[in-house]
A and B are shown apart, each in its own frame.
Chain A
Amino acid sequence: MITREKVDAYIQKIPPAPQALQQTVLYLKKEELTKAAHSAKKDLALSAYLVELVNKPIFGFRNKVEDISQIFGILGVERSQQAVYNYMISLLSPVKWQLFALNRSSFYDLQAELSIKWQIILEHLNIADKDIQNAITLLPASIIVSEALFCEKLDDVKLLRSVNEIDLNTILTRLCNLDLFDICQIIAAKWNMSEKSAQIIQASSGVKPSEDEEINRLGKYMHLLLFFTLSKPEYINAGLNDFIDFQIEYVQDVYNDFAKLMEIS
């Protein structure tokens, strides 16, 4: 059993963001892109991350974009903020993944895919709320935390899975009384993200619907997006597809809209 204290301790251990990074976040919140870019440039690791991220094929730029001001300009305030959040999360990323067959690059891909598609959904739904836009960054974060927690009990996890087809989220709940989405909520609090972000994430579990209709609807889209992304071979091979239980009935009423948006045919 992994105690709640241990989980908290792990999340507490997340190193405080370096000053340059903190400033970048602050300026982005104030929507001051030039100042944010100036701060970001001081953090070489953040700069390198942003360059790598924005030049991923999913962004579709023909020529390599290297200037941070230009990158923030291209991304706009919301997506820049998300990118910086993603960077903060990637700081936690283990050097060597043990349970999930991921690496630095495939994890970044996962972050990028979720962020970009979430943006498409929100634009379609005419939602410009930054908190809602940033909520998606919590999912990859919780995958990192889960990996760390599972690693503490790696043998137990493997044994449990060898005798029974049991999803990792259930094992996680049994090990530490928290599921993937609870962990998201704790991280959201740690990162001073809004309550709304945490609520959407909880709704996106598919088993904890919200009473707020809008949050619930967004939770459905997020649940679908998560499975749409985790159905890609690289994440199936990484062992992420069966991390949580897909709640097909929960998402039924938004599926056609989602399929159209993602051009699924």
Chain B
Amino acid sequence: MRAVVKNGIGVFHPQGFLDGNSSTALLSIDDINATLKANADIILVSLKKVIFFNRNGLDTFIKMFNKVRSANHIIVGFCDYDTKKYQAIQKFYKDELTFSLFKTQEIANLFSNGYKNQEKNVLLYSDDKSQRTAIAIELHDNGHNPIVTQSQEEFLEKVKNKDAYDVIVDESYLGQMGQQVATRVTGNAIIYTLSSFLDAEIGNTFNIAYHNNSLNVGFRLFIFDAYKVVSMNVHALNFFSKLASAAAEYNATICFVGMTFEKTPMTFKETLEDAGIMFFEQMNDILENKELLEELGASSAAGAKNKRPLNKVIVSELANFVDATVATIEMMTNAQAIKEAANVDKIKIENPENKIASSIGFYGDIDGMVMLVFPIDIAKKSCELLIGESTDDLELILDTLAELVNIVGGKIKTLLSDENVHVDITLPRTYRNVQGLLEIAGDKKGVQVDLSFDNDKFLFFLTR
């Protein structure tokens, strides 16, 4: 099948009934590659003329999307659907929605590189708070004016005045824009998902660079969701034993959840336990046990042994890092940032009380980590847009802060990629107090930039 390519968006138009069999016959990886050659930076499958689809039918497309997405840094997904189809997709994928959804091609246009700076007034609503923000920021980035509505009532009220907006964005979803390895992060734990047979191939599929950088950023708890693992062979056993030894150098913990040993020798479990890996039956055994979670995820000074000096390449990109951060926070707080001072030294935090922090690592052509230290009030203000209301719940603020830092990381990635510097980002981690941050970064030299937003002090630190 051939795609129609317009404004940098390649759209395939299947028609009829989509199941696993028909989807394979309709679209091939060659068709997608041909579309990429036509300079498409978004590849979509239109569901306009599809009267029936099931999960298998969509999965076939998604597998192909995943093959090309990370290699080409493109947006992939579906478009042209009605509410019923949108809800069906949401139901099929729930938390695994890795691709994008655009209700119409007109909406997809707003995110295309071929359609930048058109200054469209865009009314936006998503019932998912983080989606609202992610979409707003992308729209802003692409030179449009997003008008974000925080509730469905507000949206329905505003939508009555249709003529006031060029485009109305709802029932849309921005999936991963680039490569993402870990499925999710909760608290300060990273959860990786494993499935079927674990053999020598794990060495290729597991992104060790990502994992090492997550260690470097300060993550200390890694959970392998192994509910869907059938068996493990000796090659995989060696792999995980080595991974556990490496983690031990950082005082990090590796856990396996849901792994059964029906088809794997029990001796393997003992070997892994000897290497320091912990086994749990249920994910909630860890996640709902806050004390345990805190104990396992607690950072330690061991990170300091991996001290690396800043280098010229990173410092030369400093402007990009600061710009990405400032633009994001400015948008969130609706306040202008003033740069007060910049220094190369160890991190220096004045008045450490009532401050929280977050960090995100990047790796690839260059590697390092960005740390942001916020007074709790400015953190609250920045997060208000994401949460939709003011809150004093520290957990919620920390989670939202992680999301905000994730957005900063994504922006950095885009800015660097414009200069042909390709990096991937780790998941963000948060620190409920300055002490936790200092354990990771206390001895590291880096570039510190002090910023102020409406007289609120805010600290940016770039290090390796």
A residues near B (Cβ < 8 Å) are 165, 224, 227-228, 230-234, 236-237, 241-242, 245-246, 248, 251, 255, 259, 264-265
Residues of B within 8 A of A246 (CB): 15-16, 49, 51
Interface centre among A232, A245, A246, A255 (most CB of B within 10 A): A246
Residues of A within 8 A of B13 (CB): 165
Residues of B within 8 A of A232 (CB): 21-22
> Contact between B51 and A241 (Cβ–Cβ < 8 Å)?
no
> Contact between A233 and B15 (Cβ–Cβ < 8 Å)?
no
> Contact between B49 and A231 (Cβ–Cβ < 8 Å)?
no
Considering only CB atoms, which chain B residue lies closest to A252 in the complex? Answer: B51
Considering only CB atoms, which chain A residue lies closest to B12 in the complex? Answer: A165
For the complex, is B440 an interface residue (Cβ under 8 Å from A)? Answer: no
Interface centre among A224, A234, A236, A264 (most CB of B within 10 A): A236
> Contact between B15 and A242 (Cβ–Cβ < 8 Å)?
yes
Residues of B within 8 A of A237 (CB): 25
> Contact between B2 and A236 (Cβ–Cβ < 8 Å)?
no
A-B contact pairs, 11 of them (CB 8 A): A165-B13, A227-B51, A231-B18, A232-B21, A236-B22, A236-B26, A242-B1, A245-B15, A246-B16, A246-B49, A248-B48
For the complex, is B52 an interface residue (Cβ under 8 Å from A)? Answer: yes
How far in angstroms is the closest Cβ of chain B from A180? 15
Apart from A230-B16, A248-B51, what 13 extra A-B contacts exist at CB < 8 Å? A165-B13, A224-B51, A227-B51, A228-B16, A228-B17, A231-B18, A236-B25, A236-B26, A237-B25, A242-B15, A248-B15, A248-B48, A255-B51
How far in angstroms is the closest Cβ of chain B from A147? 20
How far in angstroms is the closest Cβ of chain A from B207? 34
For the complex, is B433 an interface residue (Cβ under 8 Å from A)? Answer: no
> Contact between B24 and A251 (Cβ–Cβ < 8 Å)?
no
Considering only CB atoms, which chain A residue lies closest to B17 in the complex? Answer: A231
How far in angstroms is the closest Cβ of chain A from B88? 12
For the complex, is B4 an interface residue (Cβ under 8 Å from A)? Answer: yes
> Contact between A248 and B49 (Cβ–Cβ < 8 Å)?
yes
How far in angstroms is the closest Cβ of chain B from A249? 10
Contact with A along B1-33 (1 / 0, CB 8 A): 111100000000111111001101110000000
How far in angstroms is the closest Cβ of chain A from B5? 10
> Contact between A241 and B16 (Cβ–Cβ < 8 Å)?
yes
How far in angstroms is the closest Cβ of chain A from B34? 12
Q: Kindly state the separation between the CA atoms of A228 and B51 in the bound complex, as whole angstroms.
A: 10
Near A by CB (< 8 A), chain B positions 180-221 give: none
Residues of A within 8 A of B54 (CB): 265
How far in angstroms is the closest Cβ of chain B from A32? 40
Q: Kindly state the separation between the CA atoms of A257 and B2 in the bound complex, as whole angstroms.
A: 32
Q: Kindly state the separation between the CA atoms of A251 and B2 in the bound complex, as whole angstroms.
A: 26
> Contact between B16 and A233 (Cβ–Cβ < 8 Å)?
no
> Contact between B48 and A231 (Cβ–Cβ < 8 Å)?
no
Quick one: which of A233, A241, A259 contacts B52, CB cutoff 8 A? A259
B residues near A (Cβ < 8 Å) are 1-4, 13-18, 21-22, 24-26, 48-52, 54
Q: Kindly state the separation between the CA atoms of A245 and B51 in the bound complex, as whole angstroms.
A: 13
Q: Kindly state the separation between the CA atoms of A228 and B184 in the bound complex, as whole angstroms.
A: 39
How far in angstroms is the closest Cβ of chain A from B294? 46
> Contact between A227 and B48 (Cβ–Cβ < 8 Å)?
no
> Contact between B15 and A227 (Cβ–Cβ < 8 Å)?
yes
> Contact between A264 and B16 (Cβ–Cβ < 8 Å)?
no
> Contact between B17 and A227 (Cβ–Cβ < 8 Å)?
yes
How far in angstroms is the closest Cβ of chain A from B211? 40
Considering only CB atoms, which chain B residue lies closest to A258 in the complex? Answer: B51
Q: Kindly state the separation between the CA atoms of A29 and B21 in the bound complex, as whole angstroms.
A: 40
How far in angstroms is the closest Cβ of chain A from B245? 49
> Contact between B15 and A241 (Cβ–Cβ < 8 Å)?
yes
Residues of B within 8 A of A230 (CB): 16
From known contacts A248-B51, A255-B51, A259-B52, infer whether A227 and B22 are also in contact, taking CB-CB under 8 Å: no
Considering only CB atoms, which chain A residue lies closest to B18 in the complex? Answer: A231
Q: Kindly state the separation between the CA atoms of A1 and B3 in the bound complex, as whole angstroms.
A: 28
Considering only CB atoms, which chain A residue lies closest to B11 in the complex? Answer: A165
How far in angstroms is the closest Cβ of chain A from B1? 8
Residues of A within 8 A of B26 (CB): 236, 241
Considering only CB atoms, which chain A residue lies closest to B5 in the complex? Answer: A165
Residues of A within 8 A of B14 (CB): 241
Q: Kindly state the separation between the CA atoms of A242 and B2 in the bound complex, as whole angstroms.
A: 11
> Contact between A251 and B21 (Cβ–Cβ < 8 Å)?
no
Q: Kindly state the separation between the CA atoms of A265 and B3 in the bound complex, as whole angstroms.
A: 28
Residues of B within 8 A of A259 (CB): 52
Q: Kindly state the separation between the CA atoms of A245 and B16 in the bound complex, as whole angstroms.
A: 10
Q: Kindly state the separation between the CA atoms of A246 and B47 in the bound complex, as whole angstroms.
A: 12
Residues of B within 8 A of A251 (CB): 51
Considering only CB atoms, which chain A residue lies closest to B57 in the complex? Answer: A231
From known contacts A165-B4, A248-B49, A255-B51, infer whether A231 and B16 are also in contact, taking CB-CB under 8 Å: yes
Q: Kindly state the separation between the CA atoms of A93 and B427 in the bound complex, as whole angstroms.
A: 61
How far in angstroms is the closest Cβ of chain B from A107? 18
Residues of B within 8 A of A234 (CB): 25
Considering only CB atoms, which chain A residue lies closest to B49 in the complex? Answer: A246
Q: Kindly state the separation between the CA atoms of A178 and B13 in the bound complex, as whole angstroms.
A: 25
> Contact between A231 and B4 (Cβ–Cβ < 8 Å)?
no
How far in angstroms is the closest Cβ of chain A from B165? 26
Considering only CB atoms, which chain A residue lies closest to B24 in the complex? Answer: A233
> Contact between B24 and A227 (Cβ–Cβ < 8 Å)?
no
> Contact between A231 and B2 (Cβ–Cβ < 8 Å)?
no
Residues of A within 8 A of B52 (CB): 259, 264
Query: 6 tightest A-B contacts by CB?
Result: A231-B16, A233-B25, A246-B15, A231-B17, A236-B25, A227-B16
Q: Kindly state the separation between the CA atoms of A231 and B50 in the bound complex, as whole angstroms.
A: 10
How far in angstroms is the closest Cβ of chain B from A168? 13
How far in angstroms is the closest Cβ of chain B from A17? 34
Q: Kindly state the separation between the CA atoms of A248 and B18 in the bound complex, as whole angstroms.
A: 14
Residues of B within 8 A of A231 (CB): 15-18, 22
Q: Kindly state the separation between the CA atoms of A242 and B3 in the bound complex, as whole angstroms.
A: 13
> Contact between B21 and A233 (Cβ–Cβ < 8 Å)?
yes
Q: Kindly state the separation between the CA atoms of A228 and B17 in the bound complex, as whole angstroms.
A: 6
How far in angstroms is the closest Cβ of chain A from B443? 60
Residues of A within 8 A of B49 (CB): 245-246, 248
How far in angstroms is the closest Cβ of chain A from B92? 13
How far in angstroms is the closest Cβ of chain A from B58? 14
Q: Kindly state the separation between the CA atoms of A55 and B81 in the bound complex, as whole angstroms.
A: 41
> Contact between A233 and B22 (Cβ–Cβ < 8 Å)?
yes
Q: Kindly state the separation between the CA atoms of A224 and B16 in the bound complex, as whole angstroms.
A: 8
Interface centre among B1, B13, B25, B48 (most CB of A within 10 A): B25
Q: Kindly state the separation between the CA atoms of A233 and B27 in the bound complex, as whole angstroms.
A: 11
